Amino acid sequence: MEIALIDRNNFGTESLDGFSRYQSVKNVYRISDGKLHLVYHPFTEDWTPERKREKAKEALSGRYIAYGAFEDGAVVGLIMLRPGLNMGRMMIDSFHVSTEHRRWGIGRALFEAARKEAAGRGANALYASACSAQETVDFYMAMGFAVSKTPISSCVAEEPWDIQMECEF
């Protein structure tokens, strides 16, 4: 597996066609009394072929710093960062590992690439408006994230059920 900055030489609009975004969620986190609590709230997430193409175009748009995890030329993971800083934090806009490649260390490797990129651009933290799914929030916490004490209001407005998290470094 290789982690590389995405550009038009290694990534195209069809690069996510084989990517599986499927996630079956049973429990989600909610914040009450300032603490995370698990709540049973089953749902599934998946990307249509059209959404995969849209996401690929976003990654190539020049609006993001995007890293891909490649295995035998196929994209098995993707992290996209917004290049600006908000209170010294660089925001993770999108972070996904293909279903069949989860728990292989790919997310950790992508996170480390993002952390190095952010630090190199003067950030002192990474920020994520994380899907509230238990597996997602647990992953972020394993990477050193905590619930943000100063959430970005536009993220809260866009995704009110997301958990606003940050990881200082």
Whichever domain contains 38, its CATH number is 3.40.630.30
**What is each CA distance from 70 to 19, 121, 131, in whole angstroms?**
11, 24, 24
> Residue 96: what pLDDT?
97
Number of domains in the chain: 1
Q: Which long-range contacts (CB under 8 A, 24 or more apart) does 153-162 make?
A: 155/91, 155/129, 156/129, 158/129, 159/129, 161/28, 161/30, 161/132, 162/129, 162/130, 162/131, 162/132
pLDDT of residue 110: 98
For residue 15, the model assigns a pLDDT of 98
Q: Which residues are CB-neighbours of 121 under 8 A, at least 6 positions away?
A: 83, 85, 90
Over the stretch 111-166, which tens digit does the pLDDT of each residue have? 999 999 999 999 999 999 999 999 999 999 999 999 999 999 999 999 999 999 99
- What is the percentage of the chain residues whose pLDDT exceeds 90? 99
Give the tokens for residue 40: 């049973």
Token pair of 102 as six digits: 């989860």
pLDDT recorded at residue 34 = 84
Q: What is the mean pLDDT of the chain?
A: 97
Range of the domain at 151: 2-168
Record the pTM.
Answer: 0.95
44's tokens: 């599934």
Distances in Å between the Cα of 157 and the Cα atoms of 64, 105, 136 are 21, 32, 20
Has residue 54 got a pLDDT over 90?
Answer: yes
Residue for token pair 């975004």: 21
What mean pLDDT do residues 65-77 have? 97
Q: What is the mean pLDDT of residues 12-32?
A: 97
